[in-house]
Structure 1
């Protein structure tokens, strides 16, 4: 990309689009158009960020052109058709996770687009500041060679609330129709983080549970995985955990040959050296950072030609890990 100020179009103006638009502004990009099937949402985001072009049909937006990048932050069913439309128009693609609903669909999409345009998946958890601290400490050799990892998430967002729907259903109504919920929608992030920290993994066993009322998808999960050289990793979570915040928090433990890192919500430290090593992260105050980092990596990759860390081929490996959880738990996975 020779243009020092990339021109971006955004598809999908829901909750997460706020952070995407802030990030594009932070990296110096010019968002020239927004699109959403619900015109009022698109108009509201356009007014908020001073964006001149508003669409309800992506075909019209691509026909008018005038942008180098499309940021697809719409629902998962829209990811593949919008990415194909972008590739046909010669526009580089950033798509919100998960790339597609199934591995088979993702592989077909990657094959269809090929190398016609650059293609990155917006998998931002590995760029969150507390996880970045863990990554940095591992890279610095503070705990030696990694031998075991355990990650968990806990939240009360699907607990019953008297007189109204659970918090996460109010916030994300589409979850009411998800046959696959916790692992597909949330813990896919945690699986990606584990891959990033310890390398390739495969699922040995998994169990899924449904504790919330009247929801088809799982809200509780326990996953056992193996990695290189006998490494064992576990991931477990629940969104029906009374007493925890409505938006889930995470805990991570990484055991190495020379030490153990613990990330407990916003605190990161080395066991036995808490006083000298502890770092605390303002998770709410720094929430925007992972979006800024992802967009900056995308723009830098376009300018330099270097591979994206969360390239579509890398993300297929995360999708494969996610899908194998459902297989291990005995849940049907579409071909």
Structure 2
């Protein structure tokens, strides 16, 4: 970078882009030099809302015209590889939304093509959620002793709700109806990455997937069993077609060790040996905080040269874990 001020371009003006842009507004010495979207009206609307004067329909043109240091790619997964390659060819550092690519093979090819020409991070933000970051730190501090068992439960009415009520996720992202890999690929990939940050690497033992909403092509229920490197049994029980539950996934994670048990339940963390010492979290604030945290990690990594927490090589491990679940469930990847 030519100066301390970081010049950043934004590719994609969909629903999630507002959370990225709020994260960018929180950074010091950052200038958003342009925003693009094939739907230029969307790009204009986001530009007006966030004070971005230069609006484009094409990312390559935007990079040529604005000469940014970095680009934040907030587009559908099928476009990520092409756009990251365009950025790398122009010497522009890139952060792209998760999943990096639809398949591990495509991710490996993309990583090989980009090489070390530019810095490349995946915006996988769950490990930046304050409650998950706290759990990771407390596990590193040894509060439960040696982990023996972990169970994560995920519930939402995201794709199936009470009669006459549009499910939140399908209303916001209707294209998800056609995803042949849905719950694990689109939602649980976040939880897998958070679990990796909290308890370390895992291998898939078994997986069973199901579908409640008949309009979907992919799964909305999953039961997954994994084994951590230290031998601990890890179970994920997820259902995002659960009427009456909140529209966004709510999580419960039990971390059972040989010395104590740490429980995260929706908005609070409790160590069972200290039941009155509850760590309370504001989930609405935490939702934005994880976007801001990922953007901050990218910004500080570019400035300092240190490794991003969700560097493309680290994120590749999460992609491989996700794909292993589908293979275990007998789903073609």
Instruction: Determine if the TM-score, normalized by the shorter chain, exceeds 0.5.
Output: yes
Shift of 1:213: 2.3
Q: Structure 2 matches for 1:144-155, cutoff 5 A?
A: 144-155=145-156
> Is the contact between residue 9 and residue 63 of structure 2 (CA under 8 Å) also seen in structure 1?
no
Q: Does 1:253 align with 2:218?
A: no
TM-score by length of 1: 0.96
* 1:81 matched residue in structure 2: 82
Specify the SS of the correspondent of 2:63. helix
State the Cα deviation string for residues 103-162 of structure 1 (Å, max 9, x = none).
Answer: 000000000000000001111001101111211211222222322222121011222444
| Alpha-carbon distance between aligned partners in 2 of 1:63 and 1:243, rounded to the nearest angstrom | 49
Residue in 1 that maps onto 2:120: 119
Q: How does 1:293-304 map to 2 (within 5 A)?
A: 293-304=293-304
Long gaps (5+) in structure 1:
none
Would you say 1:16 and 2:16 are equivalent positions?
A: yes
Contact 1:190 1:235 in 2 (8 A): no
Partner of 1:240: 241
Does the alignment pair 1:290 with 2:290? yes
Contact 2:132 2:198 in 1 (8 A): no
Q: Deviations over 1:286-318 (max 9, x none)?
A: 321111111111111111111111100000100
Partners of 2:96 and 2:123 within 8 A in 1: yes
Aligned residue in 2 for 1:173:
174
* Equivalent position SS for 2:297: helix
Deviates more, 1:215-224 or 1:229-238: 229-238
Q: How does 1:148-297 map to 2 (within 5 A)?
A: 148-163=149-164, 165-275=166-276, 277-297=277-297
TM-score in terms of structure 2 length: 0.97
Deviation at 1:247, TM superposition (A): 1.3
- Counterparts of residues 292-331 of structure 1 (less than 5 Å): 292-331=292-331
Q: Name the count of aligned residue pairs.
A: 332
**Residue 82 of structure 1: CA displacement?**
0.3
5+ residue gaps, structure 2, are none
Asked if 2 retains the 8 angstrom alpha-carbon contact of 1:149 and 1:194, the reply is no
Shift of 1:2: 5.1
1:150-208 C-alpha deviation (Å, 9 max, x unpaired): 21210112224444542221111111111111000000011111111121111110000
CA–CA separation in structure 2 for the residues paired with 1:65 and 1:47: 18
